[in-house]
Structure 1
């Protein structure tokens, strides 16, 4: 039987690094730490090796299709498949509450649209009974949205990827042409680009779960809490090792029957469709 393989994207520091560390300690198989910068990735591996852990490293830039394809080809050749995938790589620029079009597009390209390419190239490698965790945030809950047209679309139980892409593109068009409306979002639309990207991630999670249900693959989204990372710029509440616990739970301990859910950092399953709930991100 082939040895099990786990991959964590964007894992040379912060939350991703903590997840790799936890997997190296508890996962019975090979763990890949990935990063877009080779030197930073190898430095991260060296830190873990000094703790007696043995992750493997591979370059992966989720914003570049060629990089994703190259990694997928490597995994197929070396291992033939994949058992755990943690989609952690993400960006958020805190200095602008209302970014320009290029800033908004960059956020969405990395945080959401990269997952479409990851699904294209890495999901075919998922073995039966695999587990996928899409790292989201409080920004990903539907209570971040107030636009009734978008809400109706995203609450459709037959929602598809094309419809999610249309929602994302409508937001980007509004930023580009100057029709962006703060009232379409909670909290005066601050960091609407991040809310849109993470709502799209959660919606995609539900769609992916429907696609892969018959192979008993568990795909869930998680809000790991406000983590002390470079993105939080000192505003985070949780240390990465603490925040990683909920992700490690979904990979190592949760029932395989837990599918298509949105888990809060405390392990609570949150109703993603509760548009009146107090789950939205507050700047």
Structure 2
């Protein structure tokens, strides 16, 4: 059976570069998934001009039916999934004050959309599969600036339900105007987009939890689920100085996606510049 890799949100930016890298290094088919069909097909066409041959499939990570359709396609065509890169996400440049709608939409896409893909695809992961969740070092800013009580809630999260409660609490706190009372930081620089940072923190929190879940399934083995930070990369989401090229930004995600068989770690961890990093202790930047 032919192996298969799936990269979500990959018609441009880091996702596009990850597809390019997988086409060159992964022994199997690579699915370039995007919400917009025309943009996805254009990206495939562009890579074909480089002599690469990704497949395209439409995927909206906020639509469960869309996710289910892709799962069925992969299961019927390939028998299972060997690499999953959860790259799709969104970033809304914040104004002077983050609105409740921006917070809700950002968390819905970056956390709940990623979670939906992860939970839907986990049952069809083959033994030896690699899962990469694109997160970010800026999540550490949220953690370090949170109150002791909020930090404890984050540290104590031991299930997907617990992480989801943390994300829902943030959205509700923005809506109700009680961020400080709930222990959330109120001094995150607006250029970072608080909701974006917090959604990525949720992804960091999910990875060790889902790793433990997959480890409990004795019918499969050697499946690794890790989060990683690509670093500040010049894309539509990042417009600051000193950004990496998209291929440089894809380096760590590709490293995690192509980890060799039976490596002891990283396993349910956060990786930055090809090294395991304790994101709760990390500094304010992933540059």
- Structure 1 counterpart of 2:188: 188
Q: How does 1:152-163 map to 2 (within 5 A)?
A: 152-156=152-156, 159-163=158-162
Separation in 2, partners of 1:108, 1:170: 11
Counterpart CA distance in 1 for 2:208 and 2:256 is 16
Q: 1:188 to 1:250 in 2, by over 3 A?
A: closer
Structure 1 residue runs without a partner (length 5+) = none
In the TM superposition, residue 97 of structure 1 has moved relative to its aligned partner by 5.2
Count of equivalent residues: 277
Question: 1:216, CA displacement in angstroms?
Answer: 2.1
How far apart, CA to CA, are the structure 1 residues paired with 2:11 and 2:112? 21
The structure 2 residue matched to 1:257, chosen from 259, 264, 279, is 264
With over 3 angstroms needed to count, the CA separation of the structure-2 counterparts of 1:79 and 1:188, relative to structure 1, is closer
Task: Output the CA distance in 1 between the equivalents of 2:246 and 2:125.
Answer: 27
Q: Is the 8 A contact 1:143 1:186 kept in 2?
A: no
* Partner in structure 1 of residue 59 of structure 2: 60
TM (normalized to structure 2)?
0.90
Answer whether contact 1:140 1:201 (CA < 8 A) is retained: no
- Partners in 2 of 1:119 and 1:253 — Cα distance? 19
**SS at 2:138 equivalent:** helix
Whether contact under 8 Å (1:136, 1:221) holds in the other structure is yes
Deviation at 1:235, TM superposition (A): 4.1
Partner residue in 2 for 1:209: 211
In the alignment, the residues of structure 1 paired with residue 206 and residue 145 of structure 2 have an alpha-carbon distance, to the nearest angstrom, of 16
What is the alpha-carbon distance in structure 1 between the residues aligned to residue 124 and residue 269 of structure 2? 22
- Give me the TM-score of the superposition, normalised by structure 1: 0.91
Q: Is the 8 A contact 2:179 2:185 kept in 1?
A: no
Secondary structure of the residue aligned to 2:196 is helix
- Note if 1:220 corresponds to 2:219: no
Partner of 1:270: 277
CA distance in 1, matches of 2:203, 2:235: 20
Any idea what the Cα deviations from partners look like across 1:174-224, whole Å, max 9, x if unmatched?
Answer: 111121229732743632211210111110111101111253210110010
Please give the alpha-carbon distance, in whole angstroms, between the structure 1 residues aligned to 2:180 and 2:286. Answer: 17
Q: Structure 2: 5+ residue runs without aligned partners?
A: none
Write out aligned runs for 1:1-283 (5 A).
Answer: 2-96=1-95, 98-141=97-140, 143-156=143-156, 159-181=158-180, 184-185=184-185, 187-188=187-188, 190=190, 191-214=193-216, 215-233=221-239, 235=241, 237-253=243-259, 256-258=263-265, 259-264=267-272, 266-274=273-281, 277-279=282-284
Structure 2 distance, partners of 1:41, 1:127, is: 26
Residues 134 and 201 in structure 1, CA contact (< 8 A), matched pair in contact too: yes
Aligned CA distance change for structure 1 residues 198 and 97 (closer, same or farther; 3 Å): farther
Q: Are the equivalent residues in 1 in contact too, given 2:207–2:227 (CA < 8 A)?
A: yes
Q: 2: CA distance between counterparts of 1:116 and 1:159?
A: 15
**Structure 2 vs 1, CA of residues 144 and 135 (structure 1 numbering), >3 Å: closer, same or farther?**
farther
Root-mean-square deviation (CA, aligned residues, Å) is 2.1
